[in-house]
């Protein structure tokens, strides 16, 4: 790698050519403040927080876009730099809605942190504030432009990384705002509810639609049997909300916390992931053997599903008809479990804890119901669960490790756990499909080719004397690229896994917020996925079809995968939607 | 919260054909959006959601991006112009002589916002910069007719001449 030598604050350093001054400074242990910059997403140099002095330069320069050069001399801490940054920050704050105490992002806000770090104790300017209505129509995402600092990180994420393009910058000058076309609500356009905009917002302009009050009310209602289930990716990130290192799994403490919050039963969505593999694997085998529509595409990610409905309506038949795991679980809880426990399904209230904001929208879809009851009553994000734990005064870090509740088993399989990372559903499916087609139990269970953060991964496996060709895409920009290649014939595969968020569910829009600074130091997608792959390795059972409780539910209730009963409870259909 | 279009869209098949050929000419070029918007406005007179949607689909850009560009530049209009285009001068001389009151009176009588058009397509309203008739301040125009040195009380009588 070609290296470039430069001096920052008199310190000599050597960094790869093509680095920016911001990146070079970070490796030299020097922090430069930023707001609009976000690694891999947003690099526009527009907020002017990262100004530095370049020796011989005419004016202060934005470090996030200034490339290093041989012999460059940079100063990040001169009186001129400090003054310029402080004035800029005061100007940004001058028309900001500074109700920090009641803000969703209180103590977790990059603007607030900067004001603290730069020593802003007084704001010398009072700007005119625009007053905006808060957009609360979407079941997933709330946009409050009163808090927006126009950094455009959400726009770049939505338009360039996800290629959804639901939001953009409108008007100009003082009237500038981030909004949807024709001032429509996020709930009225082609927004897929992935929540990546929330994940990248430095302030409180975007948040999930909070449903914790509904859950508190259900927990306090003696007539409700309140059941909770948690998605695989939640355990890989919840600990971050309580100061744990990124990538620390906290499955046992999470189960313990849920019990202490008062849930009547604490279930693991991993069981339903195993169930999904049984249904989806069977569907794939049937499509391959009976000349059905291929490639078959996974249907676990509701952001991806809505994206497909808007942008690839001609490919809806390629989608697996399987409901997503937590919806399957809801349907099973309100039928099989209700019968077993002797509870009227109407009195059961199913709460899903998800790393995902799109699941809130999904849970309201009419077709995801059985006998007039929604499969899932309410969805909370990982962040909302953390809020409830804090509100309840539970000292999370001191909790013992506890197990999930019967009758679905204390542990699911490793296959269910890895559902939370890109390639995980594919790997879990291959573990089962290869065993079924070969009529044996393969000892090799790890398929490295589908793991990792490469945008599009292509692999093939031999099973039953056939080659099954597989592709994996994560993030909707990659999904769009892959599907266009499938349509043009450039890529020919049998089975595709798509997860709507970059890195998969571990980096979902409902996960703990990671600051722009931390994103410079670590790859969220890889760090959190490690927690899942470690847990997979440590579980005694690693294949969905080996789960004894899965065998039991088919024996006692569903018959066999793909049966009539399984179809009525566990499968769904999709709706072609307008592109905009 | 969406702004509802007051005037129904009356685009013809011929206009659509013209727009499609403009899009075809520019498709794939960098910076195609702005020239296409200019020509679309020439074809339709304004840029309603129907036209912006055709452009978004044709150029394969998000509708939000198209709308963002349309609202950034003042030469693009979201609303059609009326049979009678009213322009109230808000230049400094007219403004200090009370053209703000005249504008309010017109808005009240026609139930119209600035940059809007009445549902029957008869009147559209604009607030203009100085039109160079400061000697007549306060001034407003209806198409080519200029009305100067008037007060808000004169407005109903003037509008009545066009309302018939």
What DSSP string runs through A298-366?
----HHHHHHHHHH-GGGGGGB--BPPHHHHHHHHIIIIIHHHHT--GGGEEEEEEES-SHHHHHHT-T
CA of A452, closest CA in chain B: separation in Å?
30
Q: What are phi and psi of B160, to 5 degrees?
A: -60, -30
Q: What is the rounded average pLDDT for all residues in chain B?
A: 92
Kindly tell me if the per-residue pLDDT of B26 is higher than 90.
yes
Q: Which residues of chain B have a CB within 8 Å of the CB of A183? A: 1-3
Q: Which residues of chain B have a CB within 8 Å of the CB of A181? A: 49, 52, 62-64, 66-68
Distance of CA B32 to the CA centre of its chain: 23
At residue B6, the pLDDT reads 62
CA of A163, closest CA in chain B: separation in Å?
9
Domains parsed from chain A with CATH numbers: 1-129 (3.10.20.740), 141-209 (3.30.70.20), 213-570 (3.40.50.1780)
Is the Cα torsion angle A320, A325, A331, A335 positive or negative in sign?
A: positive
- A580/B1 Cβ within 8 A: no
- B1/A181 Cβ within 8 A: no
Which residues pair with residue A266 across a beta bridge?
A228
- A165/B61 Cβ within 8 A: yes
Q: Can you list the alpha helix ranges (DSSP code H) found in B47-163?
A: 49-59, 63-72, 92-96, 99-110, 155-163
Element (DSSP H or E) covering residue A285: helix A269-289
At residue B5, the pLDDT reads 52
Residue B74's pLDDT band, with cuts at 50, 70 and 90, is confident
Chain A residue set in contact with B, beta carbons under 8 Å = 133, 135, 137, 159, 164-172, 179-185, 188-189, 579-580
- A166/B2 Cβ within 8 A: no
| A481, A496 Cβ separation under 8 angstroms | no
- A172/B63 Cβ within 8 A: no
pLDDT tens, chain A, 580 aa long:
899 999 999 999 999 999 999 999 999 999 999 999 999 999 999 999 999 999 999 899 999 999 999 999 999 999 999 999 999 999 999 999 999 999 999 999 999 999 999 999 999 998 899 999 999 999 999 999 999 999 999 999 999 999 999 999 999 888 999 999 999 999 999 999 999 999 999 999 999 999 999 999 999 999 999 999 999 999 999 999 999 999 999 999 999 999 999 999 999 999 999 999 999 999 999 999 999 999 999 999 999 999 999 999 999 999 999 999 999 999 999 999 999 999 999 999 999 999 999 999 999 999 999 989 999 999 999 999 999 999 999 999 999 999 999 888 888 899 999 999 999 999 999 999 999 999 999 999 999 999 999 999 999 999 999 999 999 999 999 999 999 999 999 999 999 999 999 999 999 999 999 999 999 999 999 999 999 999 999 999 999 999 999 999 999 999 999 999 999 999 999 999 999 9
At residue A220, the pLDDT reads 98
Structure tokens that stand for B139 in this block: 């001034």
Structure tokens that stand for A105 in this block: 């992002």
| A514, A297 Cβ separation under 8 angstroms | no
At residue A408, the pLDDT reads 85
Question: In whole angstroms, what is the distance from residue A182 CA to residue B50 CA?
Answer: 11
Query: Does pTM top 0.90 for this prediction?
Result: yes
Nearest CA in chain B to A159: B62
A300 is catalytic: yes
Q: Give the contacts of A538 (CB within 8 A, at least 6 positions apart).
A: none
- B67/A167 Cβ within 8 A: no
A454 is catalytic: no
Checking DSSP bridges between strand A168-170 and strand A225-230, what pairing results, if any?
unpaired
Question: In whole angstroms, what is the distance from residue B3 CA to residue A362 CA?
Answer: 27
DSSP state of A99: -
- Number of Cβ pairs < 8 A linking chain A and chain B: 58
Kindly tell me if the per-residue pLDDT of B19 is higher than 70.
yes
**Sheet strand arrangement including A296-297:** A296-297, A495-499, A466-474, A456-463
Checking DSSP bridges between strand A348-354 and strand A225-230, what pairing results, if any?
parallel
DSSP state of B160: H
Residue B2's pLDDT band, with cuts at 50, 70 and 90, is very low
A530 is catalytic: no
pLDDT in tens, B94-142: 999 999 999 999 999 999 999 889 988 899 998 988 889 999 999 999 9
At residue B81, the pLDDT reads 87
| A234, A354 Cβ separation under 8 angstroms | yes
- Which residue is listed with tokens 């049979």? B83
At residue B1, the pLDDT reads 44
Please tell me whether the peptide bond between A295 and the residue prior to it is cis, using omega within 30 degrees of 0.
yes
The three-state secondary structure class of B30 is: coil
Distances (CA, A) of A319 to A80, A270, A297, A316, A459: 58, 21, 5, 5, 19
Structure tokens that stand for A84 in this block: 């310029």
Distances (CA, A) of B55 to A134, A289, B9, B61: 29, 44, 15, 8
Q: Which of A471, A444, A473, A476 is nearest to A460 (CA)?
A: A471
Structure tokens that stand for A491 in this block: 């890529």
Checking DSSP bridges between strand B145-147 and strand B140-142, what pairing results, if any?
antiparallel
Question: In whole angstroms, what is the distance from residue A74 CA to residue A52 CA?
Answer: 7
Provide the percentage of residues in chain B whose pLDDT is more than 90.
78
A517 is catalytic: no
- B68/A169 Cβ within 8 A: yes
| A404, A534 Cβ separation under 8 angstroms | no
Of A309, A362, A497, A527, the catalytic one is A362
At residue A367, the pLDDT reads 95
Of A283, A384, A402, A427, the catalytic one is A283
Provide the percentage of residues in chain B whose pLDDT is more than 70.
96
Please tell me whether the peptide bond between A176 and the residue prior to it is cis, using omega within 30 degrees of 0.
no
CA of A166, closest CA in chain B: separation in Å?
6
């Amino acid at each position: 790698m070609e290296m470039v030598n430069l001096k920052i604050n008199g310190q000599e350093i050597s960094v790869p050519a093509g680095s920016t001054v911001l990146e070079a400074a970070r490796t030299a242990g020097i922090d430069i403040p930023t707001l609009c910059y976000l690694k891999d997403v947003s690099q526009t140099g527009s907020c002017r927080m990262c100004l530095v002095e370049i020796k011989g330069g005419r004016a202060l320069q934005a470090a996030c876009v200034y490339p290093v050069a041989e012999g460059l001399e940079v100063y990040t801490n001169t009186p001129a730099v400090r003054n310029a940054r402080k004035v800029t920050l005061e100007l940004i704050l001058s028309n900001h809605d500074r109700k920090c105490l009641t803000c969703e992002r209180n103590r977790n806000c990059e603007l607030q942190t900067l004001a603290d770090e730069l020593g802003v104790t007084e704001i010398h300017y009072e700007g005119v504030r625009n007053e905006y209505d808060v957009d609360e129509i979407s079941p997933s995402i709330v946009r409050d432009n009163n808090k927006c600092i126009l950094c455009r990180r959400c726009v770049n994420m939505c338009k360039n990384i996800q290629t959804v393009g639901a939001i953009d910058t409108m008007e100009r000058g003082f009237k500038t705002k981030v909004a949807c076309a024709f001032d429509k609500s996020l709930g009225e356009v082609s927004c897929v509810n992935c929540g990546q905009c929330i994940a990248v917002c430095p302030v409180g302009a975007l948040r999930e639609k909070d449903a914790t009050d509904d859950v508190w009310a259900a927990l306090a209602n003696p007539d409700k049997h309140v059941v909770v289930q948690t998605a695989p990716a939640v355990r890989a990130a919840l600990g971050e909300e309580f100061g744990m290192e990124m990538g620390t799994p906290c499955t046992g403490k999470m189960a313990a916390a849920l019990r202490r919050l008062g849930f009547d039963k604490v279930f693991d969505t991993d069981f339903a992931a195993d169930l999904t593999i049984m249904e989806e694997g069977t569907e794939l085998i049937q499509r391959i053997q009976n000349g059905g529509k291929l490639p078959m595409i996974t249907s676990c990610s509701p952001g991806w599903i809505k994206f497909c409905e808007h942008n690839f309506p001609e490919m809806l038949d390629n989608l697996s008809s399987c409901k997503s795991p937590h919806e399957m679980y809801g349907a099973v809880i309100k039928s099989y479990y209700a019968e077993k426990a002797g509870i009227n399904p109407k009195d059961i209230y199913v709460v899903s804890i998800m790393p995902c904001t799109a699941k809130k929208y999904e849970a309201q879809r009419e077709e995801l119901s059985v006998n007039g009851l929604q499969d899932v009553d309410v969805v909370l994000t990982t962040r909302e669960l953390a809020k409830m734990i804090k509100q309840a005064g539970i000292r999370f870090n001191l909790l013992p490790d506890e197990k999930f509740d019967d009758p679905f088993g204390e542990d699911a399989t490793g296959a269910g756990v890895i559902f939370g990372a890109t390639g995980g559903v594919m790997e879990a499916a291959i573990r089962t499909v290869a065993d079924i087609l070969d009529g044996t139990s393969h000892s090799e269970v790890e398929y490295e080719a589908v793991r990792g953060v490469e945008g599009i991964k292509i692999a093939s496996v031999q099973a039953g004397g056939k080659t099954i060709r597989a592709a994996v895409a994560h993030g909707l920009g990659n999904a769009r690229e892959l599907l266009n290649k499938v349509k043009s014939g450039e890529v020919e595969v049998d089975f595709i896994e798509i997860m709507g968020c970059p890195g998969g569910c571990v980096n979902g829009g409902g996960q703990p917020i990671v600051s722009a600074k931390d994103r410079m130091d670590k790859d969220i997608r890889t760090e959190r996925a490690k927690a899942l792959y470690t847990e997979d390795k440590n579980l005694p059972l690693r294949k969905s079809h080996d789960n004894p409780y899965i065998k039991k539910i088919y024996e006692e209730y569903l018959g066999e995968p793909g049966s009539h009963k399984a179809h009525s409870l566990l499968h769904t259909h999709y709706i072609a939607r307008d592109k905009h | 919260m969406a702004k509802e279009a007051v005037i129904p869209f009356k685009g013809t098949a011929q206009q659509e054909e013209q727009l499609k050929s403009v899009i075809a000419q520019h498709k794939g070029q960098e910076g195609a959006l702005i020239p296409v918007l200019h020509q679309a406005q020439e074809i339709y007179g304004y840029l309603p959601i129907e036209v912006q949607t055709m452009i978004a689909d044709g150029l394969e850009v998000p509708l939000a991006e198209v709308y963002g560009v349309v609202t950034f530049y003042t030469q693009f209009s979201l609303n059609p112009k009326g049979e009678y285009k009213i322009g109230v001068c808000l230049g400094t001389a007219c403004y200090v002589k009370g053209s703000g009151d005249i504008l309010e009176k017109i808005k009240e009588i026609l139930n119209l916002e600035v940059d809007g058009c009445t549902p029957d397509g008869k009147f559209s309203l604009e607030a203009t910069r100085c039109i160079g008739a400061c000697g007549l301040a306060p001034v407003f125009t209806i198409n080519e007719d200029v009305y100067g040195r008037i007060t808000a009380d004169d407005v109903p009588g003037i509008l009545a001449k066009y309302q018939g």
